[in-house]
Amino acid sequence: MAFGLFRKGDKKAEEQAHSGPHYYDLKVKQIVRETRDAISIVFEQPEKKISYKAGQFLTLILPINGKEVRRAYSLCSSPAVDDDLAVSVKRVDKGLMSNWLADNLKAGDRVKVLEPMGQFTTEYHSGNKRHLVMFAGGSGITPMMSIIKTTLALEPNSICSLIYCNRDIDSIIFKEQLDKLQTVDQGRLHVIHILDNAPMNWQGYSGLLNHDMLTRLFERIPDWGLDKTTYLMCGPEGMMKNVETLLAARNIPEPKIFKESFVQGTIDKQPKKEPAASGNTAHEVKILYDGQEYKFQVEPNRTILETALDLGIDLPYSCQSGLCTACRGKALSGKVKLDEEEGLSASERAEGYVLTCVGHPVTDDVVIEIG
């Protein structure tokens, strides 16, 4: 969900709006072992540099077990300070891509990636004066790392506070880098670690983040008032739900809170209706993309993206589960039913944005503009 959508008149946004999905063949420069189950993959920037915004992600596309697999990984590098592009990947139990990368990828390998995408970003200006209060859990630190480095570099009047939850001390990704950033940019980055299992000599916080703990944490970080404060979160679903509830209890309005989900939520979910949401009728869809117009019928149990891909239409996508917004388009007419709405904010939904990977047309006049 964006904490500052690209605005009309933004050059980069307009360039993106008129070009198709760009694929790159990137060379792995280095693999950095961050913790026992997390690595960073550093890619060499190609000669014509790939531009991106802090908070966006790359989609890695790899043949695994004879099948093309795509997964989104947030860039942890900063376009403002880092020469290379980097993502960090944490192993997921029995996960296909995360374990393959950790076990197989090495320096010198080449990886196909889709251009940087994602709305968990903002405009960075030297004139901004704001306080970013960030909640990260585990691998959810990756976009935050890029946002922190970029904010500190480009916004001399802004500050960041990071509340970072981990299982134990050895699971903290980027601990040294964060320690260093705190001392280098004294006073502008404040990091508070919370551990599930703290060692005996641990001076920091431990246990579940609850109302009392949050009250104590908020006493330790600067209070710049609601106007100048933005809340960001990225981490396991349970942590994010907990933080949302705690922020709501402190009367922090929803439009001030932005989140990036790595995995589809299961908490509070109604079981999916069968068959898929569009009823029993196929409907026609028109897609406007990259100066082209595509018209096709979508069967009731298929999504718009699945149908387009079956027809060989190269549309942008990554997670295929309604989280990352890589497949986002705007419905100019007709009605589209989404199986999953988590990736879109209430205002994006109100503006007519839809996600083709979880979208089904429910009328025959659906026109979607992508880009």
Ligand X SMILES: Cc1cc2nc3c(=O)[nH]c(=O)nc-3n(C[C@H](O)[C@H](O)[C@H](O)COP(=O)(O)OP(=O)(O)OC[C@H]3O[C@@H](n4cnc5c(N)ncnc54)[C@H](O)[C@@H]3O)c2cc1C
- Binding stretches for ligand FES (CB under 6 A): 317-320, 322-327, 343, 355, 357
Which of residues 166 and 229 has its CB atom nearest to ligand X in the complex?
166
CA angle 365, 320, 150 (to 5 degrees): 110
Q: Which does 343 bind (CB under 5 to 8 A by kind): ligand X, ligand FES, none?
A: ligand FES
Report whether 71 contacts 59 (CB < 8 A).
yes
User: Should residue 357 be labelled a site residue for ligand X when binding is judged by CB under 6 A?
Assistant: no
Residue nearest to ligand FES (CB): 357
- On the CB side of 252, how many CA atoms lie within 13 Å of its CA? 20
Quick check: helix, strand or coil at residue 371? Answer: coil
Q: Which does 142 bind (CB under 5 to 8 A by kind): ligand FES, ligand X, none?
A: ligand X
Nearest to 368 by CA among 285, 260, 247, 308: 285
User: Should residue 319 be labelled a site residue for ligand X when binding is judged by CB under 6 A?
Assistant: yes
Q: Which does 173 bind (CB under 5 to 8 A by kind): ligand X, ligand FES, none?
A: none
User: Should residue 73 be labelled a site residue for ligand X when binding is judged by CB under 6 A?
Assistant: yes
Among 78, 98, 119, 150, binds ligand X (CB under 6 A): 98
Phi, psi of 237 (to 5 degrees): -55, -45
Phi, psi of 96 (to 5 degrees): -70, -60
Q: Which does 326 bind (CB under 5 to 8 A by kind): ligand X, ligand FES, none?
A: ligand FES
User: Should residue 92 be labelled a site residue for ligand X when binding is judged by CB under 6 A?
Assistant: yes
Q: Which does 139 bind (CB under 5 to 8 A by kind): ligand FES, ligand X, none?
A: ligand X
Among 53, 71, 188, 193, binds ligand X (CB under 6 A): 71
User: Should residue 226 be labelled a site residue for ligand X when binding is judged by CB under 6 A?
Assistant: no
Q: Any idea which residue has 């709305």 for tokens? A: 119
Report whether 99 contacts 106 (CB < 8 A).
no
The pair of structure tokens assigned to 210 is 């609850």
Report whether 51 contacts 12 (CB < 8 A).
yes
User: Should residue 320 be labelled a site residue for ligand X when binding is judged by CB under 6 A?
Assistant: no
The residue type found at 231 is Y
The pair of structure tokens assigned to 201 is 């000599």
Which residues sit at the interface with ligand X, rule CB under 6 A? 57, 71-74, 87-90, 92, 94-99, 118, 139, 142, 260, 262-263, 319, 323-324
